[in-house]
Amino acid sequence: MTRLPWRALAMSGLLIISLSGCFARRAARPPVPKSTSATPSVPASATGGAGAPASPTRPAPVAPAPAAPVVRDPAAPVAAADYATTLETRRQSLIERGLRLGAEDVGYYMDVQEARLRQAGGTALRLTRRGPSVILELPGQLNFEVGSARLSPAAITALSAVARILVDYRMSIISVEGHTDDSGDAAGNRTLSEQRAGAVAKLLVSNGVEPERLVVTGRGSDRPVADNTTEVGREANRRVVLRVDPLRR
């Protein structure tokens, strides 16, 4: 067996130690990623733009549905304090719609309408003429039960005939006012007068009269036409009055 010189053995030992250290340092070093970019790539479909991070999707705010408008019946009674303003507003609205007479036509138009209304009213209605206006009155003792807003059969027949004429003569506006005597409390009388006027207006509308042509109110006992100290006077004060006025330029 050939013996190596001691110098060769020493060199071989140093080489082995050196190689062992290299392998140890390489094993302790963390692996280097293949990509050199510090920021991970983001798919284009997940971004709002090229390379921009995606923002969370939020639904668009939904506006609340508008509240349903309150539709008021044009023929419903209005407060006595609002009567004059409502009448004028309604008159102007009808005129703007084209329901109007020329000044030269008013007299003849209302004369013919009056004649026809007299025939239709019978004994249930009282008719008078005041200038261009036609006044129809339902006396309470003939047409309403005591303390009630229920129309009598005779009043229903007469008012139905009146309504058909008012439909034919549309160039007019109709005021419907309820009145009572002064029996009972004021608030109760006003409510009853509104109910009676409303019953008349409802019957006219059911027979074809446009609600916009009616202005309805209750006066209670505020406008008596007779003495409330007698039964005859109280009967005269319990009434519903229709006033038919021409619509003119």
Any idea how long the chain is?
A: 249
Pairing of strands 214-218, 239-246: unpaired
Q: How many domains does the chain have?
A: 1
> What per-residue confidence (pLDDT) applies to 9?
46
In-domain check, residue 28: no
Give DSSP secondary structure letters for 64-82. Answer: PPPPPPPPPPTTS-B-GGG
> What per-residue confidence (pLDDT) applies to 226?
92
In-domain check, residue 65: no
In-domain check, residue 21: no
Question: Which residue is listed with tokens 């409510």?
Answer: 191
E-assigned strand segments in the chain: 126-130, 133-139, 172-179, 214-218, 239-246
Q: How far apart are alpha carbons 126 and 148 in whole angstroms?
A: 21
Q: What is the pLDDT along the chain (249 residues), one digit of tens a residue?
A: 445 454 554 455 544 555 455 544 555 555 555 544 444 454 444 444 555 555 556 665 655 565 555 556 888 999 999 999 999 999 999 999 999 999 999 999 999 999 999 988 888 899 999 999 999 999 887 788 778 899 989 899 999 999 999 999 999 999 999 999 998 899 999 999 999 999 999 999 999 999 999 999 999 999 999 999 998 888 889 999 999 999 997
> What per-residue confidence (pLDDT) applies to 143?
82
In-domain check, residue 187: yes
Tokens of 228: 């409330």
CATH label of the domain that carries residue 122: 3.30.1330.60
Q: How far apart are alpha carbons 246 and 103 in whole angstroms?
A: 10
In-domain check, residue 22: no
CA triple 150-151-155, angle to 5 deg: 175
Q: Is 41 helix (H, G, I), strand (E, B) or coil?
A: coil
In-domain check, residue 160: yes
In degrees and rounded to multiples of 5, residue 175 shows phi and psi of -95, 135
In-domain check, residue 212: yes
In-domain check, residue 8: no
Q: Please, what is the end-to-end C-alpha distance for the chain in angstroms?
A: 145
Tokens of 192: 């009853």
Closest CA to 220 of 200, 199, 198, 237: 237
> What per-residue confidence (pLDDT) applies to 3?
53
